[in-house]
């Protein structure tokens, strides 16, 4: 198992961004890859520090790419045009740098919390890049998230990214879904004690109607924390493998 | 020489921030420290990667603290309240974590470009923390910087930090200087081919009048690049030593 | 929680050695510390990468120090005088660098496999530095380990460290125990399917006789792998806490 | 410029080894590479920390690979079979992992001090992998190095690697040269105040006779220190470019 820390100055973001990357040692010319996104307050080392990601990479013989997202909500803002950076610069750069398959059937995207939102948004919008999307306790409704009393994000910070009602609307997962009509396989889960559980149930109902058999809901216990994500990431990877 | 990479989740910024830190091996209980700030597009490893900072730490027997600043311009914004974080959280945390003297006579602040602006601003405003400030090719007038055709920073990014005319005015170094009337020792330098050379000359004239013998102008050749900063950082450290 | 990666050139080893260090954010002047040692083939990041060490540091409000040991078996050899380095240089250096209590009652040493051997050896020999020792699946008999068909270590590598029968004898834990007659609290555990289980049972019997109520045997299931160590490190930390 | 820190568990060495790697951003499918070796007491970050290696990579549009060598003298020993690891495992692994040309005309090897010895030894012996070799202040005669009063290496450490007179003989650069009769381009330099200057002059005379126009001696001033290597690495890279 090879562990890599990559840092480069992105043209989109005018600064250095890091990715933590795990690549198996089986010597393949092109590995399948899971793009695994961290949540609000995390960084590219979050998944490595909370659970044994290398073991999972080895079991599945997959590369795992964990990009730093800062708190940019996987969205374009004036301060950080993160979404454009991720799709237009980071993915092709990493696929050129390492022995990775660029085929959508070989690429999955997953994440937790804000990273679950990011995985769904980037997955829905890029069927030419990803064939499966998995979201653990995702933020499914950014407006309700903003106004939820348990939301850890400062309203000012949220508003610096989503600065108009129109921008909020355009960045709602339901809006994006309706616009791009994705046909990928999608999984979501959310602990029964999560403060966004109700939002997730509504989104589950939405995806059940629209994605039908391409959608999987994984019922789990727990609250909005790493305990839930560490406890279920194995099952999520097994679903990706299927 | 001990090289440290430190990462922790800041309460101010709701995410992990890094600092690269060099501490001599002479076994002192409390080292003097230089807080060395990077410029726009840099990160906490910028100074280590461009020149031999460890050698300089050893020569002077000083600790050198290089905090990550992202592109926040050492200022409070809705997305990153960086100035408050730096002054209220980062400085006391690092002084508690490592064998460093908190006395202002034992702490100097320096930086290049955006980091030069940061050093002057933080230095001026915190005479209880820093006794000397050195700025290499600083941004001395943020409004002229914004509108300079050679400015590398996107106007939208600038405006997401300095979002009103009042905020720009309040964050001008001259405004800050006039308000706090600092009496520390200050050095600035700027290469003769720097695109902000004229701004620096005006600021030199301003500081000459107001700081008198506490101010030093170091005339140097060169443009706005690491060649200038690497070529002069030795002399800057010697001035700090005096 | 502050995560630190420290690198410095040791006088003993004539090269750079790293330590990964976790320090809670509760602002204490002097933290208690667990010195947590990795096994053969590991490095200073092994514990961080296999389990959530930061969570445990936070729960107990302890610092956790994870030094790089390479494959030196926590022993002095011609190539790497590791034991002397660890005791004479590394411990005082780290205790001076960070807010750590040097009192033996505030310092515990633990490790797995080769690191379990290291913890017992260093713990036994340094009652002025450590008050509790915990060993997960330790190598308890280095000669049997060398000759065990399942031993992962090349005999030539082993022999380059323990190069005479006398050196093997002097580095056996029983020899060391009998010589220094430690009176600290000691815990050992070893999975029932571990290829060194029998050696561990013999050592358990030895410690039961000599340490009496100061000794704890923690019976666990499993083989010689991280599954066993990750599954039991929580209980080991609870024992250290008592 | 992409900066990578790579860590993986090598089969040869039964532990994790690191490499620091710089790859330009010009988007080539296969970069030329300089394999840049550190000296005694250094590690994979030595060149990055002493000088601006990334700038040089960019100027030449080359990848630069800086592997950790510990103090193994780029030779096989019982404790670390480093030479075999480097040639048989590390080179192919890195050439598979990154967009690098494996053709010998696209690969150069260079290093300073112990790394200069390593570059000459590995370069001479592997004409199918490297077409040019450059050594800055190399150890050219390991026996004289061992017995030189200014040698920084403990004799016991040296003897743990080169443990018989035959092994010393077989690892002398002259022996290796005579055996493999290399026909690559070779450059050496050594400061006039270097404690191994005389050894280097003898080796210069040897290579002048045997390599004729394929050999370049670069006369420089200075002693055995990073000042000499940092001051001349630019010229060495220009020679590699020719």
Task: Return the structure tokens found at C64.
Answer: 């956790």
End-to-end CA distance of chain D: 23
Pairing state of beta strands D2-10 and A2-10?
Answer: antiparallel
| pLDDT tens track for C20-69 | 999 999 999 999 999 999 999 999 999 999 999 999 999 999 999 999 99
Residue C222 pLDDT class (50, 70, 90 cuts): very high
A226 neighbourhood in chain C, CB within 8 Å: 52, 55
Partner-chain contact D2 A23, CB within 8 Å? no
The range of the structural domain enclosing residue C144 comes to 2-241
Nearest to C3 by CA among C38, C47, C49, C54: C54
Q: What pLDDT does residue B143 have?
A: 98
Chain C interface, best mutation among A4, A52, A64, by max C CB count within 10 A: A52
List for chain A the helix, strand, coil content (%; round to 5): 45, 25, 35
Q: Are C125 and C181 in contact (CB under 8 A)?
A: no
Task: Return the structure tokens found at B158.
Answer: 């600038």
DSSP-based three-state secondary structure for B15: strand
pLDDT higher than 90, residue C134: yes
Average of pLDDT values for A108-125? 98
Chain D interface, best mutation among A1, A4, A100, by max D CB count within 10 A: A4
Task: Return the beta strands (E) in B184-242 as ranges.
Answer: 185-191, 215-220
Burial of C198 (0-12, 13-18, 19+ CB in 10 A): middle
Question: Which phi and psi (to 5°) does residue B104 adopt?
Answer: -60, -35
Residue C156 in contact with partner chain D when CB distance is under 8 A? yes
pLDDT higher than 90, residue A111: yes
Q: Cα separation of C127 and C179, whole Å?
A: 13
Chain A interface, best mutation among C52, C57, C227, by max A CB count within 10 A: C52
Residue A242 in contact with partner chain B when CB distance is under 8 A? no
Pairing state of beta strands D107-112 and A132-136?
Answer: unpaired
Give the list of residues 6+ apart from residue D124 with CB closer than 8 angstroms, or none.
D133, D173, D176, D177, D180, D182, D184
pLDDT higher than 90, residue A152: yes
| pLDDT tens track for D23-56 | 999 999 999 999 999 999 999 999 999 999 999 9
Partner-chain contact C9 D153, CB within 8 Å? no
Q: What pLDDT does residue B150 have?
A: 96
| pLDDT tens track for B32-49 | 999 999 999 999 999 999
Q: What pLDDT does residue B11 have?
A: 87
* CA distances in angstroms from B215 to B98, B129, B139, B187, B212, listed in the order given: 31, 18, 17, 6, 6
Cβ contacts from A onto B, under 8 A: 65
Average of pLDDT values for B161-183? 97
Nearest to D195 by CA among D145, D159, D133: D145
Residue D98 in contact with partner chain A when CB distance is under 8 A? yes
pTM (two decimals): 0.97
DSSP codes, C170-237? HHSHHHHHHHH---SEEEEEEETT-TTHHHHHHHHHHHHHHHGGGEEEEEE---SSHHHHHHHHHHHH
Partner-chain contact B230 D52, CB within 8 Å? yes
Q: What percent of chain A has pLDDT over 70?
A: 100
| pLDDT tens track for C75-121 | 999 889 999 999 999 999 999 999 999 999 999 999 999 999 999 99
CA distance C241 to chain B (A): 23
Average of pLDDT values for D143-169? 96
CA distance B19 to chain D (A): 16
Burial of C218 (0-12, 13-18, 19+ CB in 10 A): middle
| pLDDT tens track for A177-209 | 999 999 899 999 999 999 999 999 999 999 999
The answer for D 5-44 residues in CB contact with C (under 8 A) is: 7, 9, 14-16, 40-43
Q: Which residue has the higher pLDDT, B79 or C33?
A: C33
Residue C221 in contact with partner chain B when CB distance is under 8 A? no
Q: At what angle do helices D53-60 and D226-241 cross, to 10 degrees?
A: 10
Q: At what angle do helices A173-180 and A197-211 cross, to 10 degrees?
A: 10
Q: What is the CATH number of the domain that holds A158?
A: 3.40.50.1820
pLDDT higher than 90, residue A85: yes
A93 neighbourhood in chain D, CB within 8 Å: 2
| pLDDT tens track for D64-116 | 999 999 999 999 998 899 999 999 999 999 999 999 999 999 999 999 999 99
Q: What percent of chain B has pLDDT over 90?
A: 98
pLDDT higher than 90, residue C237: yes
Nearest by CB to C52, from A3, A49, A55: name it. A49
Give the list of residues 6+ apart from residue C167 with CB closer than 8 angstroms, or none.
none
Q: How many CA atoms lie within 13 A of A14 on its CB side?
A: 20
Nearest by CB to C8, from B2, B6, B9: name it. B2
Residue D92 in contact with partner chain A when CB distance is under 8 A? no
Q: What percent of chain C has pLDDT over 90?
A: 98
B9 neighbourhood in chain C, CB within 8 Å: 1
A159 neighbourhood in chain B, CB within 8 Å: 78
How many domains, in total, are found in chain B? Answer: 1
Give the list of residues 6+ apart from residue A237 with CB closer than 8 angstroms, or none.
A34, A56, A59, A60
Pairing state of beta strands D107-112 and D132-136?
Answer: parallel
Q: What pLDDT does residue D40 have?
A: 97
Q: What is the 3-state secondary structure (H, E, C) of A98-146?
A: CCECCCHHHEEEEEECHHHHHHHHHHHHCCCCCCEEEEECCCCCHHHHH
DSSP codes, D163-214? -SHHHHHHTSHHHHHHHH---SEEEEEEETT-TTHHHHHHHHHHHHHHHGGG
DSSP-based three-state secondary structure for B68: coil
Partner-chain contact A8 D7, CB within 8 Å? no
Q: What chain C residue is nearest to B92 in terms of C-alpha separation?
A: C27
Q: Hey, which chains touch D, using 3+ CB pairs under 8 Å?
A: A, B, C
Q: What pLDDT does residue D36 have?
A: 98
pLDDT higher than 90, residue D11: no
CA distance D80 to chain A (A): 20
Burial of A39 (0-12, 13-18, 19+ CB in 10 A): buried
pLDDT higher than 90, residue A230: yes
Q: What is the ipTM of this complex?
A: 0.94
Nearest by CB to D43, from C15, C77, C78: name it. C15
Q: What pLDDT does residue C11 have?
A: 87
Residue D156 in contact with partner chain C when CB distance is under 8 A? yes
Q: What pLDDT does residue D117 have?
A: 98
Residue B99 pLDDT class (50, 70, 90 cuts): very high
Residue B225 in contact with partner chain D when CB distance is under 8 A? no
Q: What chain C residue is nearest to D68 in terms of C-alpha separation?
A: C16
């Amino acid at each position: 198992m090879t562990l890599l820390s990559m840092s480069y100055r992105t043209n989109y973001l005018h600064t250095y961004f890091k990715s933590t990357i795990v690549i198996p040692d089986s010597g393949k010319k092109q590995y399948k890859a899971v793009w695994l996104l961290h949540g609000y307050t995390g960084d590219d080392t979050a998944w490595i520090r909370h659970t044994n990601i290398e073991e999972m990479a080895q079991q599945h013989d997959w590369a795992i790419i964990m990009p730093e997202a800062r708190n940019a909500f996987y969205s374009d803002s004036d301060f950080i045009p993160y979404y454009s950076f991720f799709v237009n610069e980071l993915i092709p750069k990493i696929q050129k740098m390492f022995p990775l398959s660029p085929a959508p059937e070989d690429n999955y995207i997953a994440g937790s919390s804000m990273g679950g939102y990011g995985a769904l948004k980037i997955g829905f919008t890029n069927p030419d890049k990803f064939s499966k999307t998995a979201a653990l306790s995702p933020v499914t409704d950014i407006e309700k998230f903003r106004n939820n009393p348990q939301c850890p994000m400062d309203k000012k910070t949220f508003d610096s990214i989503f600065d108009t009602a129109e921008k909020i609307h355009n960045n709602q997962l339901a809006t994006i879904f309706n616009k791009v009509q994705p046909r990928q396989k999608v999984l979501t889960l959310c602990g029964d004690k999560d403060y966004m559980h109700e939002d997730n149930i509504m989104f589950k109902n939405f995806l059940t109607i629209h994605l039908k058999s391409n959608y999987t809901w994984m019922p789990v216990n727990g609250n909005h924390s790493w305990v839930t994500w560490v406890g279920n990431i194995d099952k999520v990877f097994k679903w990706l493998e299927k």
